[in-house]
Each structure stands twice: as structure tokens, then as C-alpha cells.
Amino acid sequence: MESMIESFEPYLKRQNLAVALFGFSSGLPIMMTLMTLTYWLSSHGVKKEMIGLASLLGLPYAFKFLWAPLLDQYRLPLFGLLGRRKGWILFFQLGLALVFVGLSFIDPKSSPILTGLLIFILAFFSASQDIVIDAYRIDYLTPEEQSYGSSSSLMTYRLGMLVMGAGVLSLSDYLSWGVIFMLLAGLFMTLAIVTLFITEPEITLEADKSEEHDAPKTIKGHLRNLFKSTMLTFKQFFIRDKSLIILFFIICYKLPDAISGVMVADFYTDMGYNGTQIGVVTKVYGLIATLIGAFVAGSVIRTIGIYQSLLYSAVAIGVTNLGYLLILHYPPIHSLVIAITLENFVSGFASALFIMFLSLLCDRNYSATQYALLSSLSAVGLRLLGGSSGFLVAEYGWYDFFIGTAFLFIPGVILLFVIRREVKPLTPME
């Protein structure tokens, strides 16, 4: 019993609680570009092809590294008085609240252009918030704390996804979407208030003080400094061996989930499940499986190392897509439970592992930009290739779609084998 209590103690440290809070804020909006968006559009009669294309509205997640240097190097006027990281986080939380207010007044079928614009803005604010939150975690935690911090962040990230997923889908059976979006706006306002009381990392406070004396006096000077810092950031990463292959591995690691995940809400609807069933099983019960997977990851990584953990999880990500075939042949609710158990446990394990893997690849002097580059690449499959998923389902049907996506783990495994010498030395204890 005592050993079990001791295993939870690292998650209750002040720094992990701060990281956990921001993980929740980060996990909330992304579902509005994924399953919740799919279900919202499907419930309003939008066609499958358009639902698939809607995933392209999340492209800011794939290209957030382009403006990450700006968020990494500069404080926002007025908001920056709170600190570089906190100021940006607060700004984006308030922006997300305003977007949800806007969504509460529109119908996606009758106002497709306005809907697309607001979802794109939401994705931009959400992706930008992720940049700063990821940098906050890397700056605030020591390398020894990253494994527990990554798990804490993932757990609350998934909790945020639960609220936006299960909570919203279940509420949609009883409340109008307009009311739901106003409630979400209020939630982000609450998070913004809590952010005011979070501690800014010491490393950014010291950097901000230094920049007050060294900052250029002209716009041209600022742009020159920004360009130099951006080039230095990327150069620092690319001097490592096989850096390009590492980037391609990051793109391919979760490819099976990236392609299939865009359409699963529409799949559940086709199988006859209602909003409450989808929400409770895939998000509430699914969250439990995800948290167990994330919790297990912290211990497994320290036992067998990052390389073997990445290898086993990469294969499992593909294999679990076959679980959807069980739902296809045996639609009752218990088939959904089995498929979600497998999918979410593996997803939780793989996500916690991947967060730590990316964090350890980053130089703490350029944490926001480098992590944004790496995490952006992990979203390329979802945001670019995911746009074709609706057409693939319409052309080949659900059975062939899930069979095909299951085998997409192969490129990632091959690339991981190629970079094994670069991956094996990485450790959370270094």
C-alpha cells in the first residue's frame, strides 16, 4: 500500500500540478478540430467528403513551428508583464473563449464559410497555446522530472479531451449546441483566471530580464534578431546525426491513428450509436484506459528504455485499428467497449512516451521552437493525409479502410530501426 502511495507522490509535486493544469487547457480545444467537430457536422447533415476535408482546418497544428520562434523569443505587450510563457497562454485562452462565443451563434450547414473560418481560428489559437505550454513544461521541469511531467500532462490533456468529447457529445442529446459552446467559453475564462496564479519558470524570468537590456530599438532590429534566433534554433537541431530520418519517424509514428481517427465519430454514428453512448464509452471509459496506459508508460520506459518502448507501441498502434472490425461485424455496445479498451490503452501509453521522447530531443534554450517543430511534424499525417479519409471511406467502405490503416505502422518501424543508435542513448535520467 505504501509503495502504491509513493508511486503517486511525484504527480502531486507543485511543478507537476502546474503542468497538469496547462495540459487540461491544451487538451480541451483540439477535440473541436477532431471527433467533436466530426460529430457536430454529422449531426447537422454534412456529407462525409466534407467532414473528411474539415480536418484540413486543423493545419495550424502541422505548421505551428513557423511562428513558434515569435512566441519563444518575445513577450506579448501588457500580457507579457505576467512572464513570457504565462502571458501568451493567458492571451490564447481568452481568444479561445471568444471563438466559442462565436460558434454558439452559427449553424455549420447553412454557414459553412463562417464555420470553417472560426474553426481555423480556433485551431490557430489552440496550436499556439500548445507551443507555449509545451515550452513551459520543458522549461519548468528538470530532465529527471520529464517522465512524470509528461505523464501528468498527458493525463490532464486527455481529461480535457474527455470534457470536449464525452461531455459535449452527451450534452448534445439534451442541450443545444449554442448553449454548449457558451459553457465552453465560460470554462476557458475560468482557466484564464487560474493561469494568473501559476508560477513562471525561472529560466524565462532570467531571460526576460536579460532581454530588457539587450533588446533592439527598431522593428528592423527585432526582425533581424528573430531571423537569427530561428536559424540558430533549427541549426542546433539539425547538426545531430540522422536528424532528417528522426523527423520522418516522428511523422510516421502514429500514422495509423492519424488517418483513421478523423472518421471514427462518423463510423460510430453509422453503426447506430447515439451521442451519449459514444461519449460515455469512447471518452469516459476510454479515458480510464488512456490514463492507465499513460501511467504504465512512465514505469515501462524506465525499465526497458525508450527504443524498445517506441518499437512495441508503434506496432500496437497499427494493430489496434483492427479492433474497429469487431464493431463492424458485432455492433452491440460491448464490441465498442473492447475496441476502445485496446485503442485507448495503447494511445495513452504511446502518447506519454512520445511527449517524453520529443522533450528529450529538445535543447532547453530553444524549447518552444524545437518542440513546436517536432510536434507539428507528428500532426502532418492527421492534418494533411487525414483530409483524404472521407473520400477513402466513401470509395472503399469501412472494412477496407480499417484494414489499410492498420498496416501504416510499417514505415515508422523501419525508420525507428534506422535511427536506433540515436534513440537508445536517450533517457529521462540523463
b/e 31-63 (16+ beta carbons within 10 angstroms → b)? bbbbbbbbbbbbbeebebeebbbbbbbbbbbbb
pLDDT tens string 392-422 = 888 888 899 999 989 999 998 999 989 888 7
CATH 3.90.76.10 is right for the domain spanning 2-423: no
Would you kindly state where each structural domain of the chain is located, as residue ranges? Answer: 2-423
Among 41-55, 88-102, 327-341, 373-387, the range scoring the smallest mean pLDDT is: 373-387
Q: Which three cell numbers stand for residue 242?
A: 540522422
Calpha distance 296→292 (Å, rounded) = 6
pLDDT of residue 221: 60
Average pLDDT for 257-271: 82
Note the pTM of the prediction, 2 decimals: 0.71
In Å, how far are 89, 110, 158, 185, 395 from 94, measured between CA atoms? 9, 27, 21, 9, 41
pLDDT tens string 221-246 = 656 666 666 676 667 666 677 778 88
pLDDT of residue 217: 46
A 10 A CB-CB count for 188 gives: 23
Using pLDDT thresholds of 50, 70 and 90, give the confidence band for residue 184. very high
Calpha distance 320→387 (Å, rounded) = 21
* Spatial CB neighbours of 227, under 8 Å, sequence gap ≥ 6: none
pLDDT tens string 64-122 = 878 887 887 778 888 878 888 889 999 999 999 999 999 999 988 888 899 999 999 99
Q: Which three cell numbers stand for residue 107?
A: 449553424
pLDDT of residue 367: 67
pLDDT of residue 285: 81
pLDDT tens string 135-166 = 888 887 766 666 667 777 878 887 898 889 88
